[in-house]
Structure 1
Amino acid sequence: MSESTERSVVVERTSSGQFVATNARGGSISFGTVPDGQGTGFTPVELFLAAIGGCTAADVDVATGRHAEPTEFSVAVTGDKVSDDLGNRMTNLKVTFTVAFADGEGADRARTILPRAVKTSHDRLCTVSRTVEIGTPVSVTIRDA
């Protein structure tokens, strides 16, 4: 039996400007707009940045974690939100890894493969950033309730 290629979430409104996304496995995450910069919840743009960082972090963690447990592992994702003739969008997306390993043979191997793991994730494996870089159309429809 082969795994389905389709991935999906359902986003439902919970209150004004607030939503919850639920995946097919029943997991959920709340998010929404942040009026006047108030609140700590994630915005859709921050979830987008988190998706890029999380996708590539998972790839790199699998590759390096085979050899050593990191003592530090974080991925910062930044970008500029612009509004111009092309509409609202993100530009200047940057992903910065901070990864450290303790001393030891496995840690030396993990440090050695870290740059290749980051490059491979960026160039081939991370579905999220690959989709952004290559681009794909997004179709939108309205269905009767």
Structure 2
Amino acid sequence: MKATLDWQDGLEFDATADSGHRVSIDGPPDLGGKNAGFRPMEMMLLSVGGCSAMDVMHILKKSRQDVTGCRIEVEGERAETEPKVFTDIHVQFIVTGRGLSEKHVARAVELSAEKYCSASIMLAKAVNMTHGYTIHEAE
């Protein structure tokens, strides 16, 4: 797996991965950026959320759960001093569907957190990772 970042200007980089997809990464204006893209630490939260979301949705579909929506909110707390690493990350799943089994949702979140999500499991070696879920009945 490989990623390439090409400098554009200031702190802006055009990033490309093996999949061929592109994303802009930039810093805030007070550090010389133009706010033209994601911050690197934001990308880490998105990576955890995306990885976990794919796991949970795959598991719920295999469990024949009638999911109509899924939102993942990832919140990170950072250290006060440099290097301002994440100290805590919480991943919250808001799952909507028809007659969803709480047991199946809880198990999907647990399996993602403990067995499948490479991003969460890797970061959990250095960060306090927590996961939660809420279930909403579809209208």
TM range (shorter): 0.7 to 0.9
Residue by residue, what CA displacement relative to the aligned partner does 1:31-80 show, whole Å, maximum 9, x if unpaired? 21122597473211111100001000000010112314422201100012
TM-aligned CA distance change 1:98 to 1:38, over 3 Å: farther
Identify the residue that residue 27 of structure 2 maps to in structure 1. Answer: 33
1:97 aligns with 2:88: no
User: Is the CA contact 2:67–2:96 (under 8 Å) kept in the aligned structure 1?
Assistant: yes
Count of aligned pairs: 123
The counterpart of 1:126, out of the listed 117, 121, 126, is 117
User: 2:17, 2:74 → 1: CA distance?
Assistant: 23
Deviation at 1:102, TM superposition (A): 1.7
Choose between structure 1 and 2: higher strand proportion.
2
The counterpart of 1:79, out of the listed 72, 76, 85, is 76
User: 2:88, 2:9 → 1: CA distance?
Assistant: 32
Deviation at 1:120, TM superposition (A): 0.8
User: 1:11, 1:39 → 2: CA distance?
Assistant: 17
Aligned residues with identical type, % of pairs: 26
1:3-42 map, 5 Å: 7-36=1-30, 39=35, 41-42=37-38
Larger gyration radius, structure 1 or structure 2: 1
- Tell me the C-alpha RMSD between the 2 structures: 2.2
Runs of 4+ residues deviating >6 angstroms: none
**Could you list the runs of 5+ residues in structure 1 that have no partner in the other structure?**
1-6, 136-145
1:98-117 map, 5 Å: 98-103=94-99, 107-108=100-101, 111-117=102-108
**Could you list the runs of 5+ residues in structure 2 that have no partner in the other structure?**
127-139
When normalised by structure 1's length, the TM-score is 0.74
When normalised by structure 2's length, the TM-score is 0.77
